[in-house]
Amino acid sequence: MTAHNPSLTLVAGGAGFIGSHLCAELLARGEHVVCLDNLQTARPSNLRVLESHPNFTFIEGDIVNPLPGEIVALSDRFTRIYNLACAASPPQYQADPEHTMLTCVVGTDHLLRLSESSGARFLLTSTSEVYGDPEVHPQREGYRGFVNCTGPRACYDEGKRAAEAMTFDFARMGRAAVRVARIFNTYGPHMHPDDGRVVSNLICQILAGRKVTIYGDGNQTRSFCYVSDMVDGLIRLMESDADGLEPTNLGNPEERTLNELLDEILAVIGGPVAIDYLPLPVDDPRRRRPDIARAQEQLGWQPRVPLAEGLARTCAWFAEEIGAPDFENRLKVAAE
C-alpha cells in the first residue's frame, strides 16, 4: 500500500450508536475508515462529527441491496470489515421485520462476499439476543439459547443467529477469516432518544420531567456496558488471533435490575419521579448477564467504566442533545 492508497477499514452501520463510536476510535488510531450506512436509525449528528475527519468517507447504502459501486471499486483496499448494520431496538427492528431479517442474512452475506473477494478480515456484531430468554445464568458462548423463533422478536434474534451460522460457514469453507462478537446491552452518548431502549428511555423521560416507564415489575435484570468499553472490545477482537469457529461475548457482567438502574440514574440527575409500570412485552428476557471469561482470556479485555460514571456522561450528553434546560440545577440537587 502506498501513502496514496492506504488500506481501508469498512464499518457497515458506522453512523449508528456503537458504529459511530467505533469509527471515531479507528480514526483516532490512524485508520482510514469507510462508513456504509442506510441512515435508517442513525442520528445525522453522529455523522457530522466524523465527516470533518480527512480519513473518513461516508457512503450511503443499504447492505440488503447489492453493495454500492463505490464500495466495490475500493474492495481491493479493504483489510477489515466490521458489520454493525442492523436496527437493534425492538420498536425499530419490529417496524419492518422483513427488512430486519434480510439485513441480518442478505446484508451479512454481501459483506462476507466482499471479505472473500478482498481478503479482508470480517467481524460480525451479533447479540445477546441469540440467547433469547436464557435459562442458564450467566450466559456462556456455548449455551444454545432459548429463543422463540415464531414470535415478534424473532426477526432480530433469529436473523442474528442465521447471520452467525452464515459467518461461521464462510470460515469453515475457508472463504473468509471471521470474528463474531455477541454484544450485550450497551449504552452511552449517540443513542437515539426514541429508540425504545431502557437507558435512553429512562434518562430522556427523567430529563423531560415526564413519568418514567418500566415494563414489567422492574426486577428483570440487564448488564450495561459503556460504549467506549464495547468499542475497545470490538477492536481487540478484530485484531486478535482468535480465528476460531466460536463467538465471543462482549458486555459488562455487572448485573442490575431495571429498578436499580433507575435508582442509579436518579442519583445522577436527581429525582423524585413517578413510575408507570406497564406490561412486559412478549418474549422479553428476564435475566441477561454475560460470562466474559473468553474475552478476558483471549483479548485481555474487560469493561473499565463504572456504571455511575458512564451514566453521568450519558446523562450530560442527553441533556444537551434533547435540550433539558434545568439539567445543571438537577445535577446540583442530586449532588447535595
Interface residues with a second copy (CB under 8 A) are 97-98, 101-102, 105-106, 109, 130, 132, 144-152, 154-155, 157-159, 161-162, 164-166, 168-170, 172-173, 180, 245-247
Nearest CB to a second copy, comparing residues 130 and 204: 130
| Closest CB 307 distance from a second copy, rounded Å | 30
The nearest distance, CB 124 to a second copy, in angstroms, is 11
Shortest Å, Cβ 144 to a second copy: 5
At a CB cut-off of 8 Å and minimum separation 6, what does 122 contact?
81, 83, 111, 112, 115, 167, 170, 176, 177, 178, 179
Residues of 62-73 as b/e, b for ≥16 C-beta within 10 angstroms? Answer: bbbeebeeebee
Q: How far is the CB of 108 from a second copy (least distance, A)?
A: 10
Q: What angle do CA 140, 144, 147 make, to 5 degrees?
A: 115
Q: Which is nearer to a second copy, 49 or 165 (CB)?
A: 165
Instruction: Please identify, using beta-carbon distances, which residue of 145 and 271 lies nearer to a second copy.
Output: 145
Which of 156, 215, 226, 277 is labelled catalytic? 156
Tell me the CB-side half-sphere exposure of residue 263, using CA atoms within 13 A.
7
Q: Find the farthest-apart pair of alpha carbons in the chain and give their distance in angstroms, rounded.
A: 61
Residue number, 242 or 273, with CB nearest to a second copy: 242
**Three-class SS of residue 97?**
helix
State how far the Cα of 318 lies from the Cα of 312, in Å rounded to an integer. Answer: 10
Query: Left, alpha or beta for 42 (phi > 0: left; psi -120 to 50: alpha)?
Result: beta
131 is catalytic: no
Tell the smallest beta-carbon distance from residue 139 to a second copy (Å).
Answer: 13
Q: Which residues pair with 223 in a beta bridge?
A: 255
Quick one: cell of 225? 456496558
**Residues identified as active-site:** 156
